[in-house]
Structure 1
Amino acid sequence: MPDADLNRWSQTMAPSLDDIEALAIAALESLPEPFRGLSAGVTCAVAEFAEDEVLEELGIESPFDLMGLFQGIGMHEAGAVPATGQMPNHVVLYRRAILDYWAEHEETLGAVVSHVLIHEIGHHFGFSDDDMEALEAEAEAEGR
């Protein structure tokens, strides 16, 4: 390996919360219509890890096992217009779990962040985890 490559890596820091957020914003902005418009009210934030209460509620033992979380009421339950006083639907991405996954797989960080974000946005549209797994399997089988 050339010295220039080693020097580049010795100077590189892990992507920050802001870096992950920038990737998430780019993924949101690249959603095709009508999905982009229908998810315009969904807010997105990035945290290091999920809170212990969240992990406990979901029955998840390790914070590295949760890369993202949708919080809110999906469109299929409440319609496209939130009720008065209802907080906007919200997606949280968990930086450390995402970086751990990225380090162990052969995907770009942008692809991992996009996948997690789109998965969580899917909950906004009313898809279950099983629904999304089936859609992903179908897309993979069709070569998309």
Structure 2
Amino acid sequence: MAAPVDFDEVIDDVIDDLPKAFLARLQSVAIVVEEEATADQLASVRAQGLFGLYQGVPRTRFGADNVALPSKITLFRGPLTRAHRTPERLIRAIEDTLLHEIAHHFGIDDDRLDAIRVEGRANRIGSADPDEARS
């Protein structure tokens, strides 16, 4: 059996790898891990299941710096673990989910995230390195 993945360690690694300019703007964001999403969390985004959830005021909104409550990113251990059976895939999913939720904090919506992914794939496919295109 594979060793369990330490969610907190993966989260710390992702945060450590972010450019310093982003770190200052994440100071007021709580990042937590919960086992499962609550019914209220699922209803808030009209979802049947979630890997992660951003709750707060995006940085692009006027007055975001003056909001009384901190923003919160929640990663859901149960759904992530059930959907990604190997440690390698689980680590990648934790990283991707956290970066996805951080993007929401910076005002990037799901449609723009999808477009960025498509642009990234097109760039990898057009690269000179065939190994890079497959990643």
TM-score tier after normalising by the smaller chain length: 0.7 to 0.9
Q: 2:16 aligns with which of 23, 29, 38?
A: 29
2:123 paired with 1:136: no
Larger Rg: 1
2:72 paired with 1:90: yes
| Residue 112 of structure 1, CA deviation | 1.2
RMSD, aligned CA: 2.2
| Residue 101 of structure 1, CA deviation | 2.4
Task: Using the aligned pairs only, state the percent identity.
Answer: 27
- The gaps in structure 2 that reach 5 residues or longer are 125-131
TM-score norm. by structure 2 comes to: 0.80
Partner of 1:99: 81
- The gaps in structure 1 that reach 5 residues or longer are 1-8
| Residue 141 of structure 1, CA deviation | 1.4
- How many equivalent pairs are there? 125
Cα distance in 1 for residues equivalent to 2:91 and 2:78: 15
8 Å Cα contact 1:38-1:80 kept in structure 2: no
| Helix, strand or coil at the partner of 1:39 | coil
| Residue 44 of structure 1, CA deviation | 0.2
Partner of 1:5: none
Cα distance in 2 for residues equivalent to 1:42 and 1:139: 27
2:104 paired with 1:117: no
Letter in 1 for 2:109: S
8 Å Cα contact 2:80-2:94 kept in structure 1: yes
Partner of 1:69: 53
8 Å Cα contact 2:57-2:64 kept in structure 1: no
